[in-house]
Amino acid sequence: MDSIELTLSAPVDCIGDFTYNFYWQHKGSKLEPDSIIPHQEGTEYTYRNLVDELSKGTNVHIKGDCGKQLASSMGVDLYYFGGSGGFIEGTGNLFVDGNVKSESFGWGVAMCAGNVYVNGSVSEPWGNVVEVTSDVPGYRKFRAITEIIHNGLGDDELLAGNTFDGEHFILADGIIRNTIGTRCKKDVLIEVKSDVDLSTGILMRKGTIHVHGNAGMMTGVVLQGGTVIVDGNSGEFTGTEMKNGTIVIGGKIGSYTGSKMVGGIIYAKSGAKTTPPAEEQPLTSEDTKYLIKTLKINPMFASGYKRYTV
């Protein structure tokens, strides 16, 4: 497999970030894809160069530390840039000979293909990634959760008590993650035995994510189908731009619930402060039956939930 290498004298954000720091939001004010990556020694690669190389299967080796948003949406053929929205089969691997200093937003956010290898420390939060046994000595290996769901583990084994049997993915390592289950198109159960952070289930089409803890902001953002269940609390903007599917929040839910919501249903045990067009609607007998079956609770508890939709 072809490879390229660049050495960094200081940490750099957005290495291998297929969104270019969410270019559609800032239009180049924060990052220009064709600008030369700073702090390189002896090379002049641009951010776009790295994304293009990874997309065609080239391995990218980074000598030095990486900052936040490493490998964001790695392996996704993004609609905004004229792509299909699907995964890029044969995405290359990203090697880091150094540390990953992810800060608050995380690394591997919404990652769907390719592998990340790191021989230094890795900060939390992580994104849609999980550690597996490494096939390269001296490096830790990380794969996208969604990619494992779709393609299987192969010869890899999950570490730290995490398991996957083809239908049930259990995350029991206690790692705080963003964007778990992003773009999932398979009817599986992802069970998280801890809290999660931002954008759980973003762009998910099928499957169920069950969080046995609290969730951060934007839970179920742009949800396209499937179900996101949070036993505890959920932050602001839950269900933002939701198009289909179901969100169930057993604890408190933050403000601006259902902002720009198009379809789907949000159930909230403690009620919610919605943003139009989302609004509270009467709980039907079918809603009650759904909650009883899904949450395995009695009718009295089910009848206490509030229902929100457009």
Tens digits of per-residue pLDDT, 167-208? Answer: 999 999 999 999 999 999 999 999 999 999 999 999 999 999
Max CA pair span of the chain:
68
Tens digits of per-residue pLDDT, 163-178? Answer: 999 999 999 999 999 9
Tens digits of per-residue pLDDT, 10-51? Answer: 999 999 999 999 999 999 999 999 999 999 999 999 999 999
SS3 content of the chain, % helix, strand, coil (to 5): 10, 25, 60
- For each of the domains in the chain, give its residue range(s) and CATH number, in order of start: 1-173 (no CATH), 213-310 (2.160.20.60)
| Residue 131 clears pLDDT 80, i.e. is over it | yes
Alpha-carbon span 210 to 222, nearest angstrom: 17
**pTM (two decimals):** 0.96
What pLDDT does residue 190 have?
Answer: 98
What pLDDT does residue 81 have?
Answer: 95
Alpha-carbon span 28 to 33, nearest angstrom: 8
**Local confidence band at 102 (pLDDT 50, 70, 90 cut-offs):** confident
Instruction: Determine how many CB atoms are found less than 10 A away from the CB of residue 52.
Output: 12
